[in-house]
Chain A
Amino acid sequence: MNLINLLAILLVLAIAAFIVVKILMARKNQEVDEDVEQDDKTYTLEKMTEFIKRRLDEITKINLYDIGLSEEELKRRKNKKYELKKALKGCTYGDVNDKKYVKELIYDLLSKEYGVDEINVSKAIPFDTPSLLTAQDKFDIMLYVYKQQFGYEALTEFIKKYNLAALKYISGEAKPCYVITEEEINDIYEKENLLLTFNDKLNVITQRIYQSYKGYSSIDEVRDMNIDGVSGGVSGLPESFLSQVAQTDGDYLDQILDNKVPRACDSIWIFFQGKSIRLAFLSFGSESELKRVCQNIYKYNNPGQLSDSNGYKINEMKDRISCRCC
């Protein structure tokens, strides 16, 4: 009888040990899955944005009751989670402090978890090869450097320094206009000859990720500046219109393909000291991005839905900047 008891105890212990080992192995495998996979595209902006979205989603959506925390710890973790959720919501309404907080988190996630370092930081934006930088990259870098020095007067100082708010003739236009072109940005970048530290580079990348995730796309930093206002999508043809015309007129289709027809999502204007200046080097990239920005920009204090029947909204953002969406 004793022997049978002993065998039964051993059997139960063996089963228990097997289950524990199985659970621990499963956890270990889960951890491996969560590690960042390394390949050529790992340090591209798209992959990093995807990672940031996933991580912030995980942090905000975790069920704290599942972890088995003490009452005190649960209360604290809930408060921290609530603060993060509040910041993620507030930054879309134009709260500068919430934006700073979310950017700090993104910066930390990239440097501490994603493993962005001095070597791979240039894979996202080729900081070391100016010829490969786009005009938007160059503008973002210069605006960041100016912001460090002048704060929210950065854009004003930048425009004044290079006299960019002057009437000028551009090719294909009969009349002079207020515009800042890609060539001008390229020339200025060359003149500035900036030396960036790793911290600067990662801050530029953080801003890029933030603006495509929670911010207002390419006008995110421009909107924060002390200027009279920003407009997006107010000139050019919307994509829906272009697709309709392209079906009827072959010439138009050719022009669209040659990028001769200005698209609505390429239109970004700033109001600077009484002048409307077009930023020809900046673009929202696609109409869906422009739509995303429009849908976020007017939502502070629930002014109602922007729809086909009610095609415009005038509202104030959290930082008291007024916005109009049409």
Chain B
Amino acid sequence: MAIITFWNNNTGKIGQTYSAIAIATQMALDHNYKILFLSTKYNDRLVIDAFGANEQAETVKKIVTNKNSMDLESGIEGVAKMANAGRLTAEMIPNYTKVILRDRLEILSGPKGVSKQEYEKLYEICKEIVNVSKRYYDLVFIDLNNGMKDQITKDILQMSDIIIFNVEQKLAEIENITKIKENSEILLPKKTMFLINKYDRESKYTAKNITREVGEKKTILTVPYTALYSEAIQEGLTTEFFIGLRSKNFDDTLDNTVFFTNELRRANEAIIYKMQELQMRI
């Protein structure tokens, strides 16, 4: 139904995947949407590792049963084969995904252990995969490559219903946001939202201050930095972390994890509102 793309134009790592996983997982837990999380990054294992607690179980199963080699490839590689052969249909996509929350959240992991040349071919096919998968899923979250060197990146951005432009909590980023708002043809104001990654509420560049500075009407979205979430991602316990958060006392706003959850919920509400706004326009 809707394509939500996380993108930034920085050269380094600014925590985009970190935020994208958090928002998608919270969305899956709070709302009854069928979500696909698609990562297009080259040899980036963060998404697989973030939900990788079951990987260990699969490795054990593989050793014991020795039957894993009897399967066809999963992830983008598997879907790409179908797409290359012109046989890809929306109903086929779930066969190649990894289920995180049944009927809620599935991930289509990016290409792993492939050469740069092979990756470029796979990246080209991502456009078609996104197009097809939006017919099956309610929301397709894409963790897109940064920069705008490739035509494919531009095409996917153009196809997106909502673009979440990721920034760092820095003074220099204010200028970046202003420039993007004024110049970009692809990042149209009506479908672009700004998001501060690894947000620290103690900093003087608060979301409110930055919002005021760049002249946005609504407070810019944030994904606060939390050590617990960061650890959970590394240990492959992301789902367990989010499920654990549900038992928290949400009135305790001084608690970092509560603030983290509240900000994610605010982001999700904003995304849903934007989606409804776009649907009304259509």
Contact = CB atoms under 8 A, between A and B. Distances in A.
Interface size class of B (residues with CB under 8 A): 20 to 34
A62 B70 contact: yes
Q: B71, B85, B94, B95: which has the most chain A beta carbons within 10 Å?
A: B85
Interface in B176-226: none
A27 B61 CA distance: 12
Contacts of A72: 99, 102
B70 A59 contact: yes
A77 B95 CA distance: 7
Given A67-B65, A101-B82, A80 B87 contact: no
Contacts of A279: none
Contact of A105 (B69, B72, B94, B99): B72
A101 B72 contact: no
A100 interface: yes
Given A84-B72, A105-B81, A108-B73, A68 B65 contact: yes
Contacts of A282: none
B85 A98 contact: yes
Contacts of B72: 59, 80-81, 84, 105
B71 A83 contact: no
A322 interface: no
A177 to B, nearest CB: 39
Interface in A79-113: 79-81, 83-84, 87, 97-98, 100-101, 104-105, 108, 113
Nearest to A103: B85
Contacts of A76: 94-96
Given A79-B92, A80-B72, A100 B85 contact: yes
Interface of B is mostly: helix
B182 to A, nearest CB: 44
A80 B71 contact: yes
Contacts of B73: 108
A68 B64 CA distance: 11
Interface size class of A (residues with CB under 8 A): 20 to 34
Nearest to B99: A72
A58 interface: yes
Contact of B64 (A27, A87, A104): A27
Contacts, number: 61
Contacts of B81: 101, 104-105, 108
B276 interface: no
B249 to A, nearest CB: 34
A174 B132 CA distance: 61
B82 to A, nearest CB: 7
B70 A97 contact: no
Contacts of B67: 62, 66-67
Given A30-B66, A59-B70, A68-B65, A79 B95 contact: yes
Contacts of A62: 67, 70
B12 interface: no
Interface in A102-126: 104-105, 108, 113
A31 interface: yes
A67 B63 CA distance: 12
Contacts of A79: 92, 95
Contact of A100 (B64, B65, B66, B84): B84
Contacts of A30: 66
Contact of A104 (B71, B85, B92): B85
Contacts of B244: none
Contacts of B96: 76, 80
A84 B81 CA distance: 11
Contacts of B86: 97, 100
B66 A80 contact: no
Interface string B72-108: 1100001001101111000010111001001000000
Contacts of A31: 66
A212 B167 CA distance: 55
A68 B86 CA distance: 32
A49 B73 CA distance: 21
15 contacts: A62-B67, A66-B67, A67-B65, A76-B94, A76-B96, A79-B95, A80-B71, A80-B95, A83-B95, A87-B87, A101-B87, A105-B72, A105-B81, A108-B73, A113-B69
Q: Please provide the 5 A-B residue pairs with the shortest distance between their CB atoms, ordered closest to farther.
A: A101-B85, A100-B85, A62-B70, A97-B86, A79-B95
Interface of A: 24, 27, 30-31, 34, 58-59, 62, 66-68, 72, 76-77, 79-81, 83-84, 87, 97-98, 100-101, 104-105, 108, 113
